[in-house]
Structure 1
Amino acid sequence: MVRHGQGVHNVEAEKNIDALLSHDLFDAPMSSLGWQQVFELRKLVHGSRLLDRVELVVTSPLLRTMQTAVGVFGNEGEIYGSDVDSVIAPKNEISTLNNYPPIFASELCRDRLGLRPCDKRRNVSECQSLFPEIDFSLASMESEEDDLWYPEAREPYEEIAARGIQFLNWLWTRPEKEIVVVSHGVVLQHILYVLENDCHPSIKTDLCKRFNNCELRSVVIINKRMMDSDSSATSF
Structure 2
Amino acid sequence: MFTQKWMHNHSEVLRRAAITLLLSIPAKAGMPPSTFTSVPSLPSFTGVSTTPKNVEWTEAALRTVRMLTVNGGKELAEAGVLGRKRPVRIKVERIVIDETSNDENSSSALPSNTKIVHFQRHGQGYHNLIGEIFRESGRSIDFDERDPKKNPFVRPELVDSPLTAFGLAECATWRGVGASLRPDLIVVSPLQRAIRTATGTFADHIGTGAKWMAHEGCREDLGLLSCNRMRPASEAAAEFPFVDFGGVSSGESDSLWGPDKRETRQEQADRAYGFVTEFLRNRPEREIAVVTHSSFLFTMFNAVFDCGDDEDLRSWFMTSEIRSVRISFSESQ
Structure 1 position 210, deviation (Å): 0.2
- Give the aligned residue type for 2:283: R
Q: Would you say 1:54 and 2:183 are equivalent positions?
A: yes
Residue pair 2:250, 2:256 contacting (<8 A) in 1 also? no
Q: Would you say 1:22 and 2:165 are equivalent positions?
A: no
Runs of 4+ in 1 over 6 A off after TM superposition: none
Q: Secondary structure at the match of 2:284?
A: coil
Deviation per CA, 1:50-105: give whole Å up to 9, x if none. Answer: 1xx21101110001001011111135xxxxxxxxxxxxxxxxxxxx8972522100
CA separation of 1:115/1:143 partners in 2, compared to 1, >3 Å: closer, same or farther? Answer: closer
Which structure 1 segments of 5+ residues have no match?
A: 76-95, 232-236
**Equivalent residue, structure 2, for 1:7:** 125
Structure 1 position 44, deviation (Å): 2.4
Residue pair 1:73, 1:101 contacting (<8 A) in 2 also? no
**Equivalent residue, structure 1, for 2:250:** 143
Using the alignment, how far apart are the partners of 2:189 and 2:308 within structure 1? Answer: 29
**Equivalent residue, structure 2, for 1:186:** 295
**Equivalent residue, structure 2, for 1:129:** 238
Q: In the TM superposition, what are the counterparts of 1:209-228 in structure 2 within 5 Å?
A: 209-225=315-331
Structure 1 position 143, deviation (Å): 3.3
Q: Would you say 1:37 and 2:144 are equivalent positions?
A: no
Residue pair 1:74, 1:100 contacting (<8 A) in 2 also? no
- Give the aligned residue type for 1:147: S
- Give the aligned residue type for 2:156: H
Q: Would you say 1:114 and 2:223 are equivalent positions?
A: yes
- Give the aligned residue type for 2:130: E
Structure 1 position 150, deviation (Å): 0.6
CA separation of 1:117/1:128 partners in 2, compared to 1, >3 Å: closer, same or farther? Answer: same
- Give the aligned residue type for 1:114: G
**Equivalent residue, structure 1, for 2:201:** 72
Residue pair 2:127, 2:158 contacting (<8 A) in 1 also? yes
Larger radius of gyration: 2
Q: In the TM superposition, what are the counterparts of 1:69-108 in structure 2 within 5 Å?
A: 69-74=198-203, 99=208, 101-108=210-217
- Give the aligned residue type for 1:218: S
Residue pair 2:217, 2:275 contacting (<8 A) in 1 also? yes
* Higher normalized contact order (CA 8 Å, seq sep 6+, divided by chain length): 2
- Give the aligned residue type for 1:167: F
RMSD over aligned Cα, in angstroms?
1.7
Residue pair 2:232, 2:251 contacting (<8 A) in 1 also? yes
Q: Secondary structure at the match of 2:266?
A: helix
Q: Secondary structure at the match of 1:10?
A: helix
- Give the aligned residue type for 1:9: H
- Give the aligned residue type for 1:191: M
Which structure 2 segments of 5+ residues have no match?
A: 1-118, 135-140, 142-150
More strand by share: 2
Task: Count how many residue pairs are aligned between Structure 1 and Structure 2.
Answer: 198
Using the alignment, how far apart are the partners of 2:206 and 2:282 within structure 1? Answer: 28
Residue pair 1:60, 1:106 contacting (<8 A) in 2 also? yes
Residue pair 1:58, 1:106 contacting (<8 A) in 2 also? yes
Using the alignment, how far apart are the partners of 2:160 and 2:228 within structure 1? Answer: 6
Using the alignment, how far apart are the partners of 1:223 and 1:129 within structure 2? Answer: 36
Using the alignment, how far apart are the partners of 1:156 and 1:98 within structure 2? Answer: 38
Q: Secondary structure at the match of 1:113?
A: coil
Q: Secondary structure at the match of 2:290?
A: strand
TM-score normalized with structure 2 length: 0.57
Structure 1 position 153, deviation (Å): 1.6
Q: Identity of paired residues, percent?
A: 37
Deviation per CA, 1:173-224: give whole Å up to 9, x if none. Answer: 100011011000010111112444x3332x1x11110000000001111111
